[in-house]
Amino acid sequence: MRLRKLKLNKTSVLFYLILFLIFVQLLIFSPSEINNSSGELKTADQIKKLADSQKSKKSIEQKMRGIHLVENANNQKGWELFAEEAEGSSDTSWVLKKVKIDFYAEDQSHYTVVGDVGEIDSGSKNILIRGEVVTRSTNGYEFKTNDLKFVSDNKVLKSDDTVQMSGPDDRSGKGFILTGVGFRIDLRKNKMSILSFVEANKIIEKSFFEIKSNTAEFSNKTQQADFAGNVSLKYDKVSMKAPNAQFQYSNEDKKLKTIFLKNGVQMFEIGRSGLCQEVEMDLEQDKMTLRGSPKVQMGEDEIFGDEIVFLDGGKKVKVNNVRANRKTN
């Protein structure tokens, strides 16, 4: 009985000695695993980050082909995605190859985005599309960028990259060719915007048309276009400057019909110049009307009136309630 009891005591001593050595080793070589740098226990945020990192390590990578996903919000389709391949896991981001996504506005008109690679963040549902990204609106605008990001919370598509835009064709031929920097689509407002350094050109009735501005905005409901900030416009032999310009299209054939320059306009042409608050350019009738205290300098003459109208490409001038002055030395 004594021998058996002595053997048990030796085993216990050996067991506790091993535990003590393990504790000392942890204390010397891995103190950061027990306490943080301040000597306090880890915070809830630190514990959550550690748990999340362990979760990611344990997540199962998946690969799929022929992907079709639909995201719905408030009983309406938010976006619909197609891709050749997908790789990722349910708790991290998914990487997609050869992706096409239709993003829907509230009226269910949509924007189709295609790109080489797409990435979906499973948590935020944000989507990044990269590599020769092309975006097309329902009414015929096309935008090319190197990347485009969908921000789920704001229902916005955006890029800080350079952008090239092709406007919809009309009866007079090809649409506007535009370049700029920064691109944004607001799905709630159904509006497309170029954010800076806007330059656009087009051939209208065999005449070269060019416009520059700080920003430009286009509607997916109509084909109205708004240019703002240091607008500079050249059409045939006429040059104009104004804070704002608006393009309106006919509903029948989608042809550019009228251009309005607003909020203080300067006009320049060989042999004459003008000032007014607003200019209306009727491209179908080849007519230009100056309103808002218009004044035109033609050689030695200054013409004032309620309205000044140029007809036949400026060959004829009609003034309502004309007032004229001739400069004298």
Higher pLDDT, 81 or 59: 81
Per-residue pLDDT of 225-272, as tens digits, reads 999 999 999 988 899 999 999 998 877 767 788 999 999 999 998 888
Looking at residue 264, its pLDDT comes to 96
Would residue 295 count as lying in a domain? no
Residue 4 belongs to a domain: no
Task: Dig out the tokens for 284 from the structure.
Answer: 């179908």
Residue 124 lies in a domain: yes
Q: What is 289-311 written as a DSSP string?
A: EEESS-EEEETTEEEE-SEEEEE
| Residue 168 belongs to some domain of the structure | yes
Strands 238-249 and 256-262: antiparallel
Structural domain of 182: 62-263
Q: Quick one: pLDDT at residue 218?
A: 93
Total domain count for the chain? 1
How far CA 48 is from CA of 52, 82, 93, 199, in Å, comes to 6, 34, 19, 50
* Confidence band, pLDDT 50/70/90 cuts, at residue 212: very high
Q: Is residue 86 part of a domain?
A: yes
Q: Are 155 and 186 in contact (CB under 8 A)?
A: yes
Tell me which range, 43-52, 85-94, 191-200, 285-294, is most confidently predicted by mean pLDDT: 191-200
> How far apart (Å, rounded) are the C-alpha atoms in residues 63 and 10?
57
**Residue 139 within a domain:** yes
* CATH number for position 86: 2.60.450.10
Cβ-contact 240, 267 below 8 angstroms: yes
With CA atoms as reference, report the closest residue to 104 among 129, 139, 80.
80
- CA dihedral angle for residue 74, residue 79, residue 83, residue 89, rounded to 10 degrees: -40
Contact 187, 155 (CB under 8 A): yes
Q: What is the mean pLDDT of residues 135-139?
A: 93
Read out DSSP for 194-259? EEEEEEEEEEETTEEEEEEESEEEEESSS--EEEEEEEEEEETTEEEEEEEEEEEE-TTT--EEEE
Residue positions counted in the chain: 329
For residue 149, is it within any domain? Answer: yes
Is 232 domain-assigned? yes
